[in-house]
Amino acid sequence: MDTALLRRFDVPGPRYTSYPTADRFVEAFGAAEHASALQLRAGAKVAGGGPFSLYVHVPFCESVCYYCACNKVITRRHERAAPFLQTLEAEMALNASLLGSPQPVSQVHLGGGSPTFLDDGELQRLMQAVHKHFRIVPGAELSIEVDPRTVDAQRLQALRQLGFNRLSFGVQDFDARVQQAVHRVQPLESVAALMRSARALEFDSINVDLIYGLPRQTQLSVATTIAQVIELQPDRIALYAYAHLPQRFKPQRRIHAADLPPPADRVAMLEGSVAQFLDAGYVYIGMDHFARPGDALAIAKRQGRLHRNFQGYSTQPDCDLIGLGPSAISRIGATYSQNAKDLQGWHDAVTQGQFPVERGLALTRDDLLRRAVIMALMCQGRVEFESVELAHLVDMRRYFAEELDRLVPLAEAGLVDLGGDAIQVTPAGWYVVRAIAMVFDRHLQSDRLRERFSRVI
């Protein structure tokens, strides 16, 4: 990697788990519009069809991690889980009532917060509700985010018995000084024991989340953590760049800016980490994801079947998504809808028999076209003009004349190849693929407030 080149294109920008991005959702799109989208889907009047994906947001955490930007409720009162689950079941019933007979689901993901805040019986109740209102298809992916501080080998076995076949461990960093600085202490030994237990239970895929750019991190400490993670041999690794936005996320105000590594060190951390993972045999999937060659994610990357949704890269076909719980986002047809972020607001709407949708968006023809281009860049690293033109009935060179001009400096920097009939992300370009995708973001090009996004590196 050319460090100077990476720093040049290290700009704030979206992660593109959707396009348009969630900050573009509007309050004019609400419960009625979400219900209409579901009714159209039930009547097979919209493109798509096929199995759904489900995302369940469990907002509770026992303690706050200072770096966290997730929608969460910090509490040690586990009795709050019971009314949450009751409301969650009611929200499932609302969606299912408009969709008709139990709809097929090929992917279920529990995120948060910390889903493992729920005890084994509560997780069983949640999954029973899912099976009651939806039909889980054979071979479905059932994944759950796990806080290693909240589980042991027995709990992992309970998750396996509930049908979960994928785990994601939130690790972030193994350095004791860094863990103390972000208020998340979890020794390497405890995570290693959990990994051994998960292997013995034959989970299909085990992911580890890491963050670089945290307070008190150094190039050496990050390299040490990466080496320790490689020893654990997870199937997948997500290496995120810490986004310090204390004006938006209150817990981050407890992090001292002086403790954060400077931009040059962050770039070096990324460069060193990528080299370590590649040397260990991992495949670079894109942006911030790595996988072992035999993992389904790496296979999908090789075969050009990679997709991207609100949970990141996925092997699942581009499908409709039902989001459940506070702040969860649904994608139905050409619409996005987001639930109320406030736990009480979400609860009140559902108990009144209403969808708790707070805002959303109906995509325009231009949005759909740009989404196709951006997702092709993010997932395949290539945009074939002919396929886009046939699907959207446009002339790529004419429609995107300004965007193609803005790509010229990136091409001159060696980040993209501009052929006569395609745009190809180069190996170097993959590290700043968000910056490449931003060129096609119509909303962002006229936006003066980009600093609300995390930086590319």
| 68 assigned to a ligand binding site | yes
| 170 assigned to a ligand binding site | no
| 379 assigned to a ligand binding site | no
| 382 assigned to a ligand binding site | no
The position carrying tokens 């460069």 is: 271
Count the Cβ atoms, other than its own, within 10 Å of residue 427. 11
| 354 assigned to a ligand binding site | no
Are the CB atoms for 377 and 423 separated by under 8 Å? yes
- Token code pair at residue 421: 């009939």
- Token code pair at residue 276: 């370590």
Phi-psi region of 304 (alpha: psi -120 to 50; beta: other; left: phi over 0): left
Rounded-to-integer distance, Cα 368 and Cα 222, Å: 39
- 365-379 helix and 385-392 helix, angle to the nearest 10 degrees: 150
Phi-psi region of 363 (alpha: psi -120 to 50; beta: other; left: phi over 0): beta
Q: What is the CA radius of gyration of the chain?
A: 22
Which residues are CB-contacts of 184 (< 8 A; sequence separation ≥ 6)?
63, 65, 149, 172
Rounded-to-integer distance, Cα 172 and Cα 65, Å: 11
Rounded-to-integer distance, Cα 263 and Cα 138, Å: 46
Are the CB atoms for 316 and 141 separated by under 8 Å? yes
Are the CB atoms for 362 and 334 separated by under 8 Å? yes
| 172 assigned to a ligand binding site | yes
| 319 assigned to a ligand binding site | no
| 447 assigned to a ligand binding site | no
Count the Cβ atoms, other than its own, within 10 Å of residue 387. 13
Q: How far is CA 123 from CA 139, 162, 218, in A?
A: 20, 8, 38
The amino acid sitting at 9 is F
| 431 assigned to a ligand binding site | no
| 322 assigned to a ligand binding site | no
Rounded-to-integer distance, Cα 88 and Cα 60, Å: 14
Rounded-to-integer distance, Cα 247 and Cα 253, Å: 8
Count the Cβ atoms, other than its own, within 10 Å of residue 247. 10
Binding site as annotated, residues: 55, 61, 65, 67-69, 112, 145, 172, 184, 209, 243, 329
Q: Which residues sit in the known binding site for [4Fe-4S] cluster?
A: 61, 65, 68
Which amino acids are annotated as binding site for S-adenosyl-L-methionine, given as ranges? 55, 67-69, 112, 145, 172, 184, 209, 243, 329
